[in-house]
Amino acid sequence: MVDLIVNFDTLHQLYRAYMPFIKPAGLFVSTSESYCLGQPLTVAYRLPGSTATHEFRGVVVWINPLGAAGGRPVGIGIKIMTEPDT
């Protein structure tokens, strides 16, 4: 079951979503849905210029709530725990 669907329409969006300090890899996803730290997720995503949808499993490691300091966007950081499917 997919918990979250993400469409990256441009390479710029994909690059901005990358969270290099999360190892081995992490993505920031803008969402107003409520998630908890440590919550496992299955994420379906589509890359720029592609019609194919892929999935990975991850865990929430970062939360920017509504009204976060510095005007940061609302959303979550997800640590990618599996290789993307092909």
Render pLDDT for 45-67 as a digit per residue (tens, 0 to 9).
Answer: 999 999 999 999 999 999 998 88
pLDDT of residue 1: 87
How would residue 15 be classed by pLDDT, with cut points 50, 70 and 90?
very high
Report if residue 11 sits inside a domain.
Answer: yes
Report if residue 15 sits inside a domain.
Answer: yes
Report if residue 86 sits inside a domain.
Answer: no
Would you mind telling me the total number of residues written for the chain in this entry? 86
Report if residue 85 sits inside a domain.
Answer: no
Q: Domain of 44: which CATH number?
A: 2.40.10.220
Report if residue 28 sits inside a domain.
Answer: yes
Domain total in the chain = 1
Contact predicate 36/75, CB 8 Å: no
Q: Kindly provide the residue ranges of all beta strands, DSSP E only, lying in 3-53, ordered along the sequence.
A: 4-7, 26-30, 40-46
Report if residue 23 sits inside a domain.
Answer: yes
How would residue 18 be classed by pLDDT, with cut points 50, 70 and 90?
very high
Q: Which domain holds residue 59?
A: 4-80
The percent of residues above 90 in pLDDT, for the chain, comes to: 81
pTM of the model: 0.90
- Residues 86 and 17: their CA atoms lie apart, in Å, by 21
